């Protein structure tokens, strides 16, 4: 073992590719289990991956499982891009962004497990209804802008905003999907397009600077969103041609058709927002999603007679449950509007829906961001504000999941101490939040509580030991980590299903640094790492010893 290797080394090399043929073809995957995921049926495919509906066995929930194409998986560069997709998206906790749960591999199969969103994408919606009226359009635009604001704050450029990557749930929520082309940008070193050129993105929606291979920032996504908005309102993109090159040339040199001329029923202020998003020069666009939201607010003068109502600003005293009910009312009304299939009649315009939209533009951001912007009207201006009791543990946990804050996760065991399963999951999330934010003392204290207050054979007890192991490694206390491992190893079958990520970190470090790992233990740990992070232990599969 190399004492100079990093505390958590890179994964072992991929296994021999001989097992690839087992999984070739969509039919071969259906009914099989990849790690913790049982594949149910194929949903579709993208540029680099096929998408399946699967069940995550340990948590009994449905997920969308993206399987990297076997031909693409031959290229290490594309495997790294696939992994980068998951890592970029996993950083973004927001109600309007598809949540990534895990990235892993099973033999030669590389996959991403993410939130399964029922409903349709906006491309399908436009094919069904033709074009949108301003009312549902503004609701959609506000939610997408909110998601891009969160991505921009995290330093993420989506690079492929288009109707097919914007999903609409039956409740009227819009979720941005597929950060597969995302690229982290730095203030000092802007990324450039790779030699893939125009294949990284959809030519119909690409910004001029993306086509030219120039440095990209959030304003490129604003342009692509502007193209998407034009299509949502007119039924077609602003530029069309018989070849991708001709479309690209139009993006570079031609002005889009007049939206006001094509849709005279729309308010001029709204058309001007789209026009600004489509500016050729990035400096002339909104700097990001926050600017779009502010523009939507400013074009709502209320008494000016233009038809835009004043924004609804919930008071700081408004309870968390009231916020959720308000947002739900807005999205339900959007859902009702979206459900109409009559293409010959315009979509509904009602003052009540305008009011709900104005609220949703604010509340969609409020509920989706851990770091809340005062302009966007958070639950309260004090970030330490008390989270209200939602009345039901399921609602309390969902609120905590949406907010992702320390106070929100603490509210679950505070208000529902007897709901042991939800309390366990919330406390686990809180510990990992501390670990992510490098709040080591608090994380170590919570892991210690898991060990001390739970029976020695419980999941939380074993998870607490694993957390202590990770903390000892991070603090350079190798000998203490080895002592904890001796207690952890006999109970390892309870850890892997509960926390595959912690299991992976423990095993990878132990393999490289623990002086007393036997060949049998090494074989078992390597086998688990190769077959997937979420793999379950079979009863009696305890080769090796402590």
CATH number, domain with residue 273: 1.10.510.10
**How many other C-beta atoms lie within 10 A of the C-beta of residue 312?**
19
CA–CA gap between residue 188 and residue 186 (Å, rounded): 5
Task: Report the Cα–Cα distance between both ends of the chain, in Å, rounded.
Answer: 18
Give every CB contact of residue 495 below 8 A, 6+ residues apart in sequence: 459, 462, 463, 466, 488, 502, 503, 506
Residues 160 and 105 in one domain: no
What pLDDT is recorded for position 183?
A: 58
- 158 and 45: one domain? no
DSSP label at residue 97: B
Q: Residues of 24-59 as b/e, b for ≥16 C-beta within 10 angstroms? A: eeeeebeeebbbbbebbebeeeeebbbbbbbbbebe
Whether residue 452 lies inside any domain: the answer is yes
- By the 8 A CB rule, do 446 and 431 touch? yes
Q: What is the largest CA-CA distance in the chain?
A: 79
pLDDT for the residue 83:
78
Whether 109 is in a domain gets the answer yes
Q: Would 350 be classed as within a structural domain?
A: no
Cα–Cα distance for residue pair 344/329, rounded to 1 Å: 26
CB 463 within 8 A of CB 491: no
Low-confidence ranges of the chain (pLDDT < 50): 1-26, 185-200, 301-330, 332-333, 337-338, 340-385, 533-546
**Residue at which a domain ends, from 270, 298, 326:** 298
Position 440 in a domain: yes
Burial class (CB in 10 A: 0-12, 13-18, 19+), 539: exposed
Q: Are residue 152 and residue 282 in the same domain, yes or no?
A: yes
Distance CA 525, CA 146 (A): 42
In a domain, 394, yes or no: no
Residue 422: give its domain's CATH number.
1.25.40
Decide: 430 and 442 in contact? Cβ < 8 Å: no
Domain shared by 72 and 156, yes or no: no
Residues 204 and 251 in one domain: yes
Written in H, E and C, the secondary structure of 271-299 is HHHHHHHCCCCHHHCCCCHHHHHHHHHHC
Same domain, residue pair 435 and 419: yes
According to the model, what pLDDT value does residue 143 have? Answer: 92
Residues 6+ apart with CB under 8 A from 484: 465, 468, 469, 472
Are 101 and 170 members of one domain? no
Q: Is 382 a catalytic residue?
A: no
272 within some domain: yes
Q: What is the CATH number for 35?
A: 3.30.200.20
Do 130 and 261 belong to one domain?
A: yes
Residue-level pLDDT at 231: 95
Residues 141 and 280 in one domain: yes
What's the distance, CA 281 to chain centroid? 29
Dihedral angle over CA of 400, 404, 406, 408, nearest 10: -20
Q: What is the CA radius of gyration of the chain?
A: 25
Residue the block writes with tokens 């919570």: 446
Give SS3 for 29: helix
Q: CB–CB of 528/503 below 8 Å?
A: yes
Same domain, 235 and 102: no
Total tally of structural domains belonging to the chain: 3
Asked if residue 380 is part of any domain, the answer here is no
Is 210 part of any domain?
A: yes
Among 96, 115, 134, which residue terminates a domain? 115
Q: Which of 36, 133, 160, 217 is catalytic?
A: 160
Which pairing describes strands 109-115 and 183-184: parallel, antiparallel, or unpaired?
A: unpaired
Q: Which residue has the tokens 């058309």?
A: 271
Q: By residue range, what is the domain housing residue 491?
A: 400-531
User: What's the pTM?
Assistant: 0.55
Choose the final residue of a domain: 115, 144, 162: 115
Closest CA to 499 of 449, 457, 526, 535: 535
- Assess whether 24 and 152 both reside in one domain: no
pLDDT of residue 532: 55
Token pair, residue 438, equals 């490098």
| Cβ partners under 8 Å of residue 298, min gap 6 | none
Tokens of 302: 């209320």
pLDDT, residue 182, reads 61
Residues 109 and 139 in one domain: no
pLDDT for residue 340: 47
């Amino acid at each position: 073992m190399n004492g100079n290797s990093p505390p958590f080394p890179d994964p072992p090399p991929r296994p021999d590719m001989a097992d690839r043929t087992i999984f070739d073809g969509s039919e071969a995957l259906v009914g099989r289990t990849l790690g913790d995921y049982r594949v149910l049926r194929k949903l579709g495919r993208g540029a680099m991956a096929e998408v399946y509906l699967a069940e995550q066995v340990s948590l009994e929930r449905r997920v969308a499982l993206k399987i990297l194409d076997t031909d693409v998986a031959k290229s290490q560069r594309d495997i790294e891009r696939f992994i980068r997709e998951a890592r970029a998206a996993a950083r973004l906790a927001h109600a309007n962004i598809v949540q990534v749960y895990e990235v892993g591999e099973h033999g030669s199969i590389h996959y991403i497990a993410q939130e399964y969103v029922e409903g349709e994408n906006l491309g399908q919606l436009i094919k069904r209804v033709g074009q949108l009226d301003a009312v549902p359009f503004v609701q959609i635009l506000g939610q997408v802008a909110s998601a891009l604001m969160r991505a921009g704050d995290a330093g993420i450029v989506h690079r492929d905003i288009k109707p097919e990557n914007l999903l609409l749930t039956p409740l009227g929520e819009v979720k941005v999907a597929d950060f597969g082309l995302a690229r982290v940008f730095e203030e000092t070193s802007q990324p450039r397009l790779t030699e893939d050129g125009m294949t990284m993105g959809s030519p119909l929606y690409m910004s001029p600077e993306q086509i030219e291979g120039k440095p990209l920032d959030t304003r490129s996504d604003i342009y692509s969103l502007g193209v998407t908005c034009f299509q949502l309102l007119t039924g077609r993109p602003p530029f069309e041609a018989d070849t991708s090159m001709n479309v690209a040339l139009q993006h570079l040199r031609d002005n889009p058709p007049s939206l006001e001329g094509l849709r005279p029923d729309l308010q001029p202020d709204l058309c001007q927002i789209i026009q600004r998003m489509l500016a050729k020069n990035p400096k002339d666009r909104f700097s990001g999603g926050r600017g779009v939201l502010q523009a939507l607010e400013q074009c709502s003068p209320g008494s000016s007679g233009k038809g835009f109502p004043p924004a609804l600003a919930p008071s700081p005293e408004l309870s968390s449950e009231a916020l959720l009910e308000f947002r739900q009312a807005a999205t339900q009304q959007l859902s009702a509007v979206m459900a109409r299939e009559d293409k010959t009649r315009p979509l509904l315009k009602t003052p009540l829906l305008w009011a709900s939209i104005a609220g949703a533009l604010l509340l969609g951001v409020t509920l989706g961001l851990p770091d809340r912007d005062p302009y966007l009207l958070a639950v309260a201006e004090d970030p330490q504000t008390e989270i209200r009791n939602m009345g039901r543990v399921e609602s309390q946990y969902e609120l905590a999941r949406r907010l992702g804050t320390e106070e929100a996760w603490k509210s679950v065991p505070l208000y529902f101490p007897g709901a042991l399963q939800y309390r366990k999951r919330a406390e686990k999330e809180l510990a990992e939040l501390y670990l992510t934010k490098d709040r080591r003392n608090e994380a170590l204290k919570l892991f210690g509580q898991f060990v001390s207050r739970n029976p020695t054979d419980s999941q939380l007890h074993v998870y607490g030991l694993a957390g202590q192991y990770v903390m000892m490694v991070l603090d350079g206390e190798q000998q203490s980590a080895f002592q904890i491992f001796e207690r952890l190893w006999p109970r390892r079958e309870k850890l892997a299903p509960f926390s595959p990520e912690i299991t992976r970190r423990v095993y990878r470090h132990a393999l490289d640094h623990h002086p007393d790992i036997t060949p049998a233990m090494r074989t078992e740990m390597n086998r688990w790492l190769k077959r997937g992070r979420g793999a379950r232990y079979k009863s009696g599969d305890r080769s090796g010893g402590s």
